[in-house]
Amino acid sequence: MSCALGPCPLGPDGGRGAFAARKAPDPLSVTPPSPARPPQDRSAALSAYPILALTMLLWGGNVVAGKSAVGEVSPQVLTCLRWALACLVLVLPARAGLRAEWGTLKAHWRYVLLMGACGYTLYASLFYAAGLYTTGINIALFQGSIPVLVILINYAVHRVAVSRAQAIGVVVTLAGAVVAATHGDWRVLTQFGFNRGDLLMLGACLLYAGYAVALGARPKVSGLTFFSAMALAAFLTSLPPLAAEWWLGHTVWPTPRGWLIVAFVALGPTLAAQLGFMRGVELIGPNRAGLFVNLVPIFGAGLAVLFLGEPFRWNDALALGLVLGGIAIAERLGRRR
């Protein structure tokens, strides 16, 4: 649709400073490595890469699901049901952790509520609403700005420096996102213009970038406990937009196919992907993890080829190469200092 509460101290690398030691390891909460130990940093990166790649693949699937949902389930019904189902799935596995760490969560309820509302509910609501007013190309272009926004916010809030290689990597991955969004036709950019949907999408990207940066200071409870609390916050904060959609007469309750879409979105992009992104941020920090977001339009295009019958063109291969190349530049050259 994680960590014992109190802010986790940020290291000079933007969220990869060492956390306080724990009595038992948490499978969903990995202690970030210290910058002074490069071998462990490399090990964390090797663990983060497949997690983040799978996360972006699931989010790419969410793009296809969103296209398939038109006429099958309305946007706010989908947003609300995805978090309702996620909460139901989390009841049993998260129950013990929620009981044990409820006091800590309660002490930081404002942080949890804001993270769930801004990073999950409001982002999805603005994302779906933007699609009513602007083109898919504009939405994809704005999604490509998220890694840049993460770096800018991280610098403004935490003064996290960005190396030259990382900056080059961001530009290259952004170029890949632009190629994916324009389908290799640069003339599309000459027709680019701002409208209400673009402003909504910009707001959505700012919210998610802020969420990604704020994950570096998440409370020190277990990953499953923290995510469960945010899922509940997302469900509660999705009710007012749902009520507004119903009042406006735009509600479409799921068809049989719509329920399949809801189930996939709840279990894949919502549960598995959000947990994966949280862990990726813990392992390598928000700046580096944010670069992988530009894989979303690439995977979305690939899945559209497989499931929607759209053709695979040269520009799709070029976009994939640019995004992967940009990540490699930022990761390999950016770490050689």
Q: Tens of pLDDT along 202-247? A: 888 889 889 888 887 788 888 889 899 999 999 999 999 999 999 9
Confidence of residue 136 (pLDDT cuts 50, 70, 90): low
Q: Mean pLDDT score of the chain, rounded to an integer? A: 77
Name the one residue in this structure whose structure tokens are 């942080």: 111
First CA to last CA across the chain, in angstroms?
38
HSE, side-chain direction, 13 A CA sphere, residue 320: 14
Higher pLDDT, 97 or 64: 97
Contacts with 213 (C-beta within 8 Å, 6 or more apart), sequence order: 15, 150, 153, 154, 157, 158, 286
Contact 222, 24 (CB under 8 A): no
Rounded mean pLDDT, 299-305: 76
Per-residue pLDDT tens digits for 19-55: 343 444 444 444 444 344 455 677 777 888 899 999 9
Phi-psi region of 227 (alpha: psi -120 to 50; beta: other; left: phi over 0): alpha
Q: Are 254 and 261 in contact (CB under 8 A)?
A: yes
Instruction: Give the pLDDT confidence score for residue 228 in this predicted structure.
Output: 92
The H-or-E segment that residue 5 falls in is strand 4-7
Residue where the block lists tokens 């959505």: 204
Helix (H, G, I), strand (E, B) or coil at 217: helix
State residue 297's pLDDT score.
Answer: 73
Mean pLDDT, to the nearest integer, of 57-82? 85
Quickly state the pLDDT bin for 85 (edges 50, 70, 90): very high
Q: What is the pLDDT of residues 159-184, one digit of tens each?
A: 777 777 777 877 887 787 777 667 67
Give the pLDDT band (50/70/90) at residue 137: low
Q: Of 310 and 77, which is predicted with more confidence?
A: 77
Residue 7 pLDDT > 50: no
In order, the DSSP letters of 65-77 are HHHHTTTTS-HHH
Tokens of 211: 């969420």
